[in-house]
Amino acid sequence: MDNIVVEALVRALAVGTPLLLASLGAIVNERSGIVNLGMEGVMAIGALAAFAVAASAPDASLWLAVLASMLAGAALCTLHALATVTLRANQFVSGLALALIGTGAAGLLGKKFEGLPLFNKVPDWTLGGFTVSPFTVVALLLAGALAFYLNATRPGLTLRSVGENPAAADVLGVNVGLVRWLGVLGGGALGGLAGAFLSLSYRSSWSDNMAGGLGWIAVALVIFVAWDPLRAVAGALFFGFLYYLQFRLQGNSPIPTEVFSAMPFVLVLVVLALAGRRGQAGSAPAGLGRAYVRGER
Amino acid sequence: MRFVALPATTTARSALVTLAAVVVALVVCALIFLVYGVSPGAVYGSMLRGTLGDPTGLAEVGRRTIPLLLIGSGLALAFRAQFFNIGAEGQLLLGAVFAAGTALFIPLPGPLVAPAMFIMGALGGGLWAGIAAWLRRVNVNEILSTLMLNYVAVAVVTYLIAGPWKGKDVRGYIYTDTIPAGGYLPVVPGTQVHWPTLLLGIVVALGLQWLLTRSTFGYALRVVGENAGAARYAGLNAAGIATVVALITGGAAGLAGAGEVAGIHHRLLEAGQISLGYGFTAVIVAWLARGNPALCLVTAPLMGVILAGGDLLKIDLNMPFRVVDVFSGVILLCLIASEVFVRHRVVWGRA
């Protein structure tokens, strides 16, 4: 009995790790007032960049591969920042385009890495008898750090103020455009890191469509957890547990497998509807989704 | 750099900016192809020669234009109402499910099969979009809900063709039996262009344009889309309008699904074979048309070239079909990023 509970928790943590990293990224994005629906693409690009570096230079430090994933995620999000912050484009549609470009470019450029083995997989850690990925530990620490940053530091306050009321922040001398650019790029780096976990630790291989919808779920998760990094930990665990159930029940239950593959997405809908009913959407940063133009509101 | 609003925006300026955006997108894609390791010249050459350069290719473009036209004109309407439906992929699939189910399991006299398939197809697509419209009333963003419903629709199709609807005559494969011959649509000889659906697409595009610009409902829709505050002040029921728009858009996508089943496949098969990402590509069709359903008559064939071209690149240059996502994404991004230049001129230097 004990074993099953522990196994479930460990597995839920593993699948929850990319969800947590990507939703932390989206939280950083959205706290600055910019919606980023492109996380699916950011994760795909991050996964590819990390794998490409690790597979092409097996002697190089894995830190380099991790760094590459974060740079690649941020680089992809440069497009989003340029379009939405500088050129005031529709943030939702730009995110959609970002998802298409990311998954598309990863699928295209990653073709030559398909099926290659990875010899220098990130080694798991053994903590108190459990095997966990270092990424999981980092993700949990990052959640705490981000919560501290947003709630207890001055730059965090600035970031939030730009998301809540860009006009007021502007009056106080904050460079709204710059903060939003940094918010988008920082979020992109975290999304890339989520991808690196998939290709360096979780699967330690590369295949097309690696993110497999996790990026979209991460984006929805942000609404569910009301833009709060610590609640994101619980949310990621919850969905990680669902995925665990899916693997666990598949094959040894009379329920058709398609029910399990649709389950996370149906649950996201249910959870979003519940959050909406509770008025959780009201806790969104007030300036979210709107371009800031000085002198207009 | 800052933007100064222009007093009025002209059609010429809008057209010029759109054209420039597409050119920039093609250049950006060319850079990506260089990184991938093929010459952009080879890619674009292969795409153009194989699509517009010969009759077979042209027919392939035509075949892909049909669903894009139907979905795109519906989406153009939806975007005008600020209902960002990006779940046309799932709505098309549900349309295909309803249409195939009707043909397979409802005994109807021959001539009625095809019309019934289209009616049921529209119903299926509308139903799927209706879920998103209902969820929007409880504050669920329709972009996320329609997207999630895409994944669910794929699971529904897979479940049906591998489970209860699996054909009696098929062995290892997963698809249904073929539908009765009454459900087959005529095609232009030697091609897969099912012209009745194409005709339907033209009627839908023109009809929706009329609805948008000439009817009271269209007027209300535009007010809701352009100025939510004014709409509320005028007492317009924004939620009701969004629901109707969702049903129309989903219905049009459902018609496209019915057309694919009745015109090409004659059975229900895997999601990836029914649609080549028509739902996402149609977003660009609608955006290129700047929210005018009738303009989709021009933009749908343009994107049809890209979808048909993607197939060619797979064969000619051994590139993954993902290349279509790159095209779509880059074009879409350039289009929306260029929008600011339609209504503003750029002034260098600080305010």
Beta-carbon separation of A107 and B322 below 8 A: yes
- The two tokens of residue B179 are 């539908």
Residues 95-154 (A) with a CB less than 8 A from some CB of B: 96-109, 111
Mean pLDDT, range B345-351, rounded to an integer:
76
Q: Is the pLDDT of residue A2 over 70?
A: no
pLDDT confidence tier of residue B304, bands split at 50, 70 and 90: very high
- The two tokens of residue B96 are 């295909």
ipTM: 0.92
pLDDT at A256: 83
Is the backbone of residue A179 left (phi > 0), alpha (psi -120 to 50) or beta?
alpha
Q: Which residues contact A158 (CB under 8 A, 6 or more apart)?
A: A169, A174, A179
* Min Cα–Cα distance to chain A from B224, Å: 17
* Residue A227: φ, ψ to 5°: 60, 30
pLDDT at A37: 92
Residue among A100, A219, A268 minimizing CB distance to B328? A100
Judged by a CB distance cut-off of 8 A, whether residue A279 touches chain B is: yes
Instruction: Identify any residues that bridge with B2 across adjacent strands, giving them in sequence order.
Output: B347
What is the per-residue pLDDT across B144-155, written as a single tens digit (0 to 9) for each?
899 999 999 999
Q: Is the pLDDT of residue A282 over 70?
A: no
Instruction: Identify any residues that bridge with A130 across adjacent strands, giving them in sequence order.
Output: A127
Tokens 């100025």 found at: B227
* Min Cα–Cα distance to chain A from B278, Å: 13
pLDDT at B119: 98
What is the distance between the alpha carbons of residues B264 and B119, in angstroms, rounded to a whole number?
18
Beta-carbon separation of A268 and B144 below 8 A: yes
pLDDT at A114: 87
Q: Which of B233, B235, B332 is nearest to A38 (CA)?
A: B332
Judged by a CB distance cut-off of 8 A, whether residue A155 touches chain B is: no
Beta-carbon separation of A41 and B329 below 8 A: yes
| A84 close to A94: Cβ distance less than 8 angstroms | yes
| A128 close to A70: Cβ distance less than 8 angstroms | no
B143 interaction partners in chain A (CB closer than 8 Å): 37, 92, 96
What is the per-residue pLDDT across B66-105, written as a single tens digit (0 to 9) for each?
999 999 999 999 999 999 998 999 999 999 999 999 999 9
Across chain A, mean pLDDT equals 89
pLDDT confidence tier of residue B230, bands split at 50, 70 and 90: confident
* Min Cα–Cα distance to chain A from B35, Å: 8
> A-B interface: how many C-beta pairs under 8 angstroms?
147
Q: Which long-range contacts (CB under 8 A, 24 or more apart) does B216-221 make?
A: B217/B241, B217/B244, B221/B77, B221/B80, B221/B81, B221/B245
Beta-carbon separation of B36 and A109 below 8 A: yes
Give how far Cα B11 sits from Cα of A153, B87, B197, B219, B222, Å: 49, 30, 31, 20, 18
Q: How far is CA B280 from the centre of its chain?
A: 6
Judged by a CB distance cut-off of 8 A, whether residue B318 touches chain A is: no
- The two tokens of residue B74 are 């519906």
Which amino acid belongs to residue A98? L
Mean pLDDT, range A162-176, rounded to an integer:
93
* Min Cα–Cα distance to chain A from B277, Å: 11
Q: Which residues contact A177 (CB under 8 A, 6 or more apart)?
A: A85, A86, A292
| B163 close to B280: Cβ distance less than 8 angstroms | no
What is the distance between the alpha carbons of residues B123 and B127, in angstroms, rounded to a whole number?
6
Q: Which of A28-32, A156-160, A237-241, B251-255 has the lowest mean pLDDT?
A: A237-241
Q: Residue B5: closest CA among chain A residues belongs to which residue?
A: A293
Residue among B36, B135, B155 minimizing CB distance to A269? B135
Q: Is the pLDDT of residue A187 over 60?
A: yes
* Min Cα–Cα distance to chain A from B307, Å: 14
What is the per-residue pLDDT across A49-99, written as a single tens digit (0 to 9) for each?
999 999 888 777 788 999 999 999 999 999 999 999 999 999 988 999 999
A27 C-beta neighbours (distance < 10 Å), count:
28
Across chain B, mean pLDDT equals 93
A100 interaction partners in chain B (CB closer than 8 Å): 280, 325-326, 328-329, 332
pLDDT confidence tier of residue B129, bands split at 50, 70 and 90: very high
Judged by a CB distance cut-off of 8 A, whether residue A76 touches chain B is: no
Q: Residue A102: closest CA among chain B residues belongs to which residue?
A: B326
Residues 173-232 (B) with a CB less than 8 A from some CB of A: none
Q: Is the pLDDT of residue A229 over 80?
A: yes
Collapsing DSSP states into helix, strand and coil, what is residue A215? helix
- The two tokens of residue A287 are 């300036």
Give how far Cα B135 sits from Cα of B76, B90, B99, B138, B347, Å: 21, 16, 25, 5, 43
What is the distance between the alpha carbons of residues B103 and B121, in angstroms, rounded to a whole number?
11
pLDDT confidence tier of residue B351, bands split at 50, 70 and 90: low
Mutate to test the interface with A, among B28, B149, B336 (most CBs of A within 10 A): B336
Name the more confident of B293 and B233.
B293
Residues 240-259 (A) with a CB less than 8 A from some CB of B: 256, 258-259
pLDDT at A178: 96
In chain B, the percentage of residues whose pLDDT exceeds 90 is: 77
Q: Which of B280, B288, B286, B275 is nearest to B72 (CA)?
A: B286
Beta-carbon separation of B139 and A281 below 8 A: yes
pLDDT at A271: 86
Judged by a CB distance cut-off of 8 A, whether residue B244 touches chain A is: no
pLDDT at B110: 84
Mean pLDDT, range B108-136, rounded to an integer:
95
Collapsing DSSP states into helix, strand and coil, what is residue B119? helix
CATH of domain A2-283: 1.10.3470
Beta-carbon separation of B333 and A79 below 8 A: yes
Judged by a CB distance cut-off of 8 A, whether residue B35 touches chain A is: yes
Q: Tell me the angle at which helices A91-109 and B278-288 cross, rounded to the nearest 10 degrees.
A: 130
pTM assigned to the model = 0.92
Name the more confident of A93 and A119.
A93
Per DSSP bridges, beta strands A130-132 and B2-5 are: unpaired
Q: Is the pLDDT of residue A297 over 60?
A: no
What is the per-residue pLDDT across B305-326, written as a single tens digit (0 to 9) for each?
999 999 899 999 999 989 999 9
What is the distance between the alpha carbons of residues B22 and B335, in angstroms, rounded to a whole number?
7
Domain ranges of chain A: 2-283
Mean pLDDT, range B41-47, rounded to an integer:
93
Q: Is the pLDDT of residue A146 over 90?
A: yes
pLDDT at B350: 63
Per DSSP bridges, beta strands A125-127 and A130-132 are: antiparallel
Say if residue A86 is exposed, middle or buried (CB neighbours under 10 Å; 0-12, 13-18, 19+).
Answer: middle
Give how far Cα A23 sits from Cα of A146, A217, A234, A287, Å: 12, 9, 12, 19
| CA angle, B308 then B309 then B313, to 5° | 125
Say if residue B343 is exposed, middle or buried (CB neighbours under 10 Å; 0-12, 13-18, 19+).
Answer: middle
Collapsing DSSP states into helix, strand and coil, what is residue B3? strand
Q: Is the pLDDT of residue A189 over 60?
A: yes
pLDDT at A258: 85
pLDDT at A158: 95
Residues 181-210 (A) with a CB less than 8 A from some CB of B: 208
